[in-house]
Amino acid sequence: MDPSFFTMGMWSIGAGALGAAALALLLANTDVFLSKSQKATLEYLEDIDLKTLGKEPRTFKAKELWEKNGAVIMAVRRPGCFLCREEAADLSSLKPKLDELGVPLYAVVKEQIRTEVQDFQPYFKGEIFLDEKKRFYGPQRRKMMFMGFVRLGVWYNFFRARNGGFSGNLEGEGFILGGVFVVGSGKQGILLEHREKEFGDKVNPVSVLEAARKIQPQTSAAKSN
């Protein structure tokens, strides 16, 4: 056999493999394979069961969080994740302005492991509740698996959070994507719904504040009716 044919064949196989890898990397950095989100309705959110995290847990309907004054709610992907801690700190920086508006800041987590929620609390300046059925992560629950680690946007988010001084751990489930909601009082509705599309895809704090300013406390809403 002519050695040149063998060399050419190996080169072709190698070039084909490199081309396939390049195409896969390119597609992984588009939205083609991302889980599609489905917007939540107010009725869906209202019916979610949440549980307090104190010594005597109480189960209640989520609508209690926003019924009177609206609310900003973070659905935390994983409390020990340094990217989630970064977003929690960003939202917490809005707390003084939210307090002026009378709008509370809350978070929900999907599991309670050892001291993970307690260790998350320094980054988040609001009350935290447990969503055992993970309904705040729906209606269509979305996951990002190992594809996230080949996305350039995710690596940018990693470096941004690390440079910001955030650190974390690998405890708990971290593939189900989270989000942030701004919900108006009473039946005012969902004023902002941010669905995390990849690890570290933070909500814009300016958008959160703009949505919070649209909230009408229930007393004001009642007077206008």
Radius of gyration for the alpha carbons in the chain, expressed in angstroms and rounded = 22
Euclidean distance between CA atoms 99 and 96, whole angstroms = 5
Euclidean distance between CA atoms 74 and 124, whole angstroms = 10
Among 48, 75, 81, 183, the active-site one is 81
Q: N- to C-terminal Cα distance for the chain?
A: 89
Euclidean distance between CA atoms 211 and 223, whole angstroms = 21
Buried b (16+ CB within 10 A) or exposed e, 50-66: beeeeeeeeeeebbebb
User: How many of the other CB atoms lie within 10 Å of CB of 78?
Assistant: 26
Among 50, 62, 74, 84, the active-site one is 84
**CA torsion, ordered 107, 84, 39, 140, to nearest 10 deg:** -100
**Dihedral class, residue 157 (left if φ above 0, else alpha if ψ from -120 to 50, else beta):** alpha
The number of residues in the chain equals 225
Facing residues of 73 across strands?
106, 181
Question: Is 84 known to be catalytic?
Answer: yes
Question: Is 1 known to be catalytic?
Answer: no
Residue numbers annotated as active site: 81, 84
